[in-house]
Amino acid sequence: MTTRAEALRDLRRTLTEAGFETAALDARLLLLAALGIPATDLITRPDVPLSADEAEILAAFARRRLAHEPVARIVGTREFWGLPFRLSPETLVPRPDTETLVETALDLIPDRRPPLRIVDFGTGSGCILVALLHELPNATGLGIDLSFGALATARANAAENGVGDRSRFALSRWADAVSGPFDLIVSNPPYIASGVIPGLAEEVREHDPRLALDGGPDGLEPYRIILSEAKRLLEPGGLVVVEIGYDQEEDLTGLAAAHGLEILRVAHDLSGNPRCIAM
């Protein structure tokens, strides 16, 4: 019989030997998911033996990880802004860098009291919108996506994180079916140039949906659309905050100027790359 503590140690060793830099964290998340227990349970009851079923599930998870499937895909959830988010094949795995966008938007909102109306283009798992609604108890939000699967996932995430009553989700190609007005537009659109996608890391290329990555020939197509609609959708004084690729600051500055939008801030991620632009 293998105990929880032994299973954790064995899996950590296997992943370390296979070269996974995040072996310890991966092993812990996979074990918790295979057993369906909270982290505290692992600490307080490390000596409980795994049942045959549990051991089998864990072994299957380990095989998938060794084949470089992201942990978040295997366990089906990922934490963002301290909140749990379900994933589906139609949603990007929320990235820690995207918290920069949430932080920037919260920081630039002049007054949190009025009932802000937020729209999130390409909402995916809903992580940005749900995090904002979680922080802004008077705000309401509309999450837009081109994927039905993503909308269902985002809706479930909003409900599970307690903001379901203040959010709506709708299918639209960008702002085609959207009229506004809004006080805040947020988006982490697909911004990878189509030609660059084959060179992305395997975990991204093989497991994140192409629809959430591919920003057209130069990676800027979604920004052209969103920025060209900003004036129509926003209240006077409204704010646009978008995530960008590490090398897109100049392009976005140009696009903003072309649409008469003033850059308010360029925020950097933890690696020091420009990661989000507010205008």
Name the site residues for ligand GLN (rule: CB under 6 A): 92, 95, 188-192, 204, 213
Q: How far is the CB of 115 from ligand GLN (least distance, A)?
A: 28
Q: Which is nearer to ligand GLN, 70 or 190 (CB)?
A: 190
Smallest separation (angstroms) from ligand GLN to the CB of 257: 22
CA R_g for the chain: 20
Q: What angle do CA 205, 215, 225 make, to 5 degrees?
A: 155
**Ligand-binding site membership of 188 (annotated):** yes
Strands 182-187 and 234-243, sheet pairing: parallel
Q: Specify the residue for token string 């646009």.
A: 240
CB of 189 to ligand GLN, least distance (A): 6
Q: Is 271 marked as binding a ligand?
A: no
Distance of CA 35 to the CA centre of its chain: 25
Q: For ligand GLN, which is the closer residue by CB, 3 or 88?
A: 88
Q: Give 189 or 274: the residue with its C-beta nearer to ligand GLN.
A: 189
Give me 252's structure tokens: 């976005």
Nearer to ligand GLN, 13 or 68 (CB): 68
- The answer to whether 189 is annotated as binding is yes
Contacts of 131 (CB under 8 A, 6+ apart): 80, 81, 83, 99, 102
The smaller minimum CB distance to ligand GLN, of residues 95 and 117, is found at: 95
Token digits for 146?
Answer: 């081109």
Strand partners, 240: 185
Q: In the complex, what is the shortest distance from the CB of residue 73 to ligand GLN, in angstroms, rounded to a whole number?
A: 14
Q: How many CB atoms lie within 10 A of CB 37?
A: 15
123 assigned to a ligand binding site: yes
* 125 annotated to bind ligand: yes
Q: How far is the CB of 123 from ligand GLN (least distance, A)?
A: 12
115 is in an annotated binding site: no
- Work out how close the CB of 38 gets to ligand GLN at its nearest, in angstroms, rounded to a whole number: 29
User: Any known ligand binding at 82?
Assistant: no
Question: Counting beta carbons within 10 angstroms of the beta carbon of residue 187, is it exposed (0 to 12), middle (13 to 18) or buried (19 or more)?
Answer: buried
Structure-block tokens of residue 202: 């395997």
Contacts 24+ apart (CB under 8 A), 12-20: 14/62, 14/66, 15/62, 15/65, 15/66, 18/66, 20/65
Among residues 20 and 121, whose Cβ is nearest to ligand GLN?
Answer: 121
Per the annotation, binding residues for substrate are 188-191
Feature table: binding site for S-adenosyl-L-methionine = 122-126, 145, 174, 188
